[in-house]
């Protein structure tokens, strides 16, 4: 069956015939292929990998674009009785609240604060483990590209995008090797640019689109980040802190992606 390229620019969508079906060898191969679709991005770009597997993909993207790499540890704050509902998100930069959902569900401020505090402890623990003591990079006023290994439900990507937006980047993009067609379309609204080489109408799991898709360990994430510190571009020396406010301008977004054969999407979606 034919593969299609899905192009979304300023709200206009069209399906364009493209090449053959695509499957990635592993996360590193996926990252290298993402680079070919991610040219012409803003200068001074910072690539943020979403742990765990997204960091491996992000390392290849950062190396291919010759830009800086860091990790964004994000934890969703979920409703205790409705874990599928994200009340907000926590990163090292602070907490983002879904005010609409909080009001609709009547969640008291004290309850949300307690739930967020639990996730904040997890964020700090993973930050320490992944960065080997290095503080996180400042995002204010920077062009930021989030990278993950796949887009299944979009919950993690949305939480990450909202958390980064709260830190006032000048530009925000998202790059994933593969995503479910409806989720890709929905998440586009959260970022200035979304790049997804394979958009699948039938989407059972992220792993289906990889020949090898092993679990990524904390040790592997730490090793990837440690190696990136010694190979950063010579002019990449932004401050490593989280204060300051950037211009926060957001240019219009567009999507470039290639569809898998059309069909009904399976309800089961392991992945982010």
CATH number at residue 33: 3.40.50.2020
Q: Is residue 126 part of a domain?
A: no
Taken in order 118, 272, 68, 189, the sign of the CA dihedral is negative
pLDDT tens per residue across span 23-50: 899 999 999 999 998 878 999 999 999 9
Q: Is residue 218 part of a domain?
A: yes
Across 233-254, average pLDDT: 35
Q: Is residue 104 part of a domain?
A: no
Of 234 and 18, the structure prediction assigns the larger pLDDT to: 234
Per the prediction, the chain carries an average pLDDT of: 79
Q: Is residue 8 part of a domain?
A: yes
pLDDT tens per residue across span 146-202: 999 999 888 889 889 988 998 999 999 999 999 999 999 989 999 999 999 899 888
Q: Is residue 189 part of a domain?
A: yes
- pLDDT the model gives residue 252: 28
Q: Total domain count for the chain?
A: 1
Out of 1-10, 130-139, 157-166, 196-205, which region has the weakest mean confidence (pLDDT)? 1-10
- The residue range of the domain holding 158 is 4-73+137-203+210-235+244-259
- pLDDT the model gives residue 108: 95
pLDDT over 70 at 259, yes or no: no
Q: Is residue 26 part of a domain?
A: yes
Query: CB of 55 within 8 A of CB of 225?
Result: yes
pLDDT over 50 at 266, yes or no: no
Give residues with Cβ within 8 angstroms of 161, minimum separation 6. 146, 172, 174, 187, 190, 191
Q: Is residue 121 part of a domain?
A: no
The secondary structure of 68-127 as a DSSP string is EEEE---EEEE-SS-TTSEEEEEETTEEEE-HHHHHHHT--HHHHHHHHHHHHHHHHHHH
Of 38 and 64, the structure prediction assigns the larger pLDDT to: 64
Q: Is residue 161 part of a domain?
A: yes
What gap in Å lies between CA 171 and CA 221, rounded to an integer?
A: 25
- pLDDT the model gives residue 14: 31
pLDDT over 80 at 51, yes or no: yes
- pLDDT the model gives residue 233: 56
- pLDDT the model gives residue 22: 62
pLDDT over 80 at 203, yes or no: yes
Percent of the chain with pLDDT over 90: 49
Assigned token pair, 140: 């204010």
Beta-sheet pairing, 178-180 with 193-200: parallel
């Amino acid at each position: 069956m034919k593969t299609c390229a899905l192009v979304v620019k300023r709200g206009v969508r069209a399906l364009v015939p493209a090449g053959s079906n695509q499957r990635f060898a592993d996360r590193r191969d996926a990252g290298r292929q993402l680079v070919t679709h991610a040219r012409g991005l803003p200068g001074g770009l910072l690539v943020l990998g979403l742990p765990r597997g997204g960091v491996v993909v992000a390392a290849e993207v950062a190396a291919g674009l010759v830009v800086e790499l860091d990790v964004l540890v994000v934890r969703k704050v979920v409703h205790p009785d409705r874990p599928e509902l994200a009340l907000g998100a926590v990163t090292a930069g602070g907490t983002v609240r879904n005010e609409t959902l909080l009001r609709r569900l009547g969640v008291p401020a004290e309850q949300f604060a307690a739930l967020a505090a639990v996730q904040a402890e997890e964020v700090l623990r993973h930050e320490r483990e992944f960065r080997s003591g290095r503080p996180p990079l400042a995002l204010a006023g920077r062009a930021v590209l989030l990278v993950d290994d796949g887009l299944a439900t979009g919950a993690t990507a949305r939480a990450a995008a909202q958390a980064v937006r709260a830190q006032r980047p000048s530009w925000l993009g998202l790059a994933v090797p593969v995503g479910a067609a409806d989720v890709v379309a929905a998440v586009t609204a959260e970022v200035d640019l979304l790049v997804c080489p394979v958009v699948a109408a039938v989407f059972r799991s992220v792993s289906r689109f990889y020949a090898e898709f092993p679990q990524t360990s904390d040790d592997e994430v730490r090793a990837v980040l440690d190696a990136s510190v010694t190979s950063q571009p010579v002019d990449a020396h932004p401050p490593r802190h989280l204060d300051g406010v950037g211009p926060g301008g957001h240019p219009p977004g567009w999507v470039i992606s290639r569809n898998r054969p059309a069909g009904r999407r399976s309800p089961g979606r392991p992945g982010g």
